[in-house]
Amino acid sequence: IPAGLNVIDFRAFDGCEMLDRLVCRPVEPPQLENYNIHRKFLDAIKNVIVMVPAECLPLYQNAEGWKDVKLVPFVDE
């Protein structure tokens, strides 16, 4: 997910059964516009490792929706 993305549509990962890792580069966790609708988004990535910038990990760990997925920090070189 590119650094400039601010919002993720709930259908973003529909049909991505082989997805096992997602690199999310935004400093601020992208907004999940409607949390109830985005349960579908979260169900699609529940077994996916979501890599986020190491310095932003606490933001993702406290963000609605994002705190419910497997977050792993990475350092961008």
How far is the C-alpha of 59 from the C-alpha of 47, rounded, in Å?
20
pLDDT at 34: 66
Non-local CB neighbours of 76 within 8 Å, separated by 6+ positions: 25, 53
Structure tokens at 32: 């999940």
Return the pLDDT at 42: 72
Residue 41's pLDDT is 72
Q: Can you give the pLDDT at residue 52?
A: 97
Q: Which residues of the chain carry a pLDDT beneath 50? A: none
Question: Which pTM does this prediction carry?
Answer: 0.83
Query: What pLDDT does residue 73 have?
Result: 97
Burial of 1 (0-12, 13-18, 19+ CB in 10 A): middle
Report d(CA 71, CA 48) in Å as an integer. Answer: 9
| Residue located via tokens 């929706």 | 65
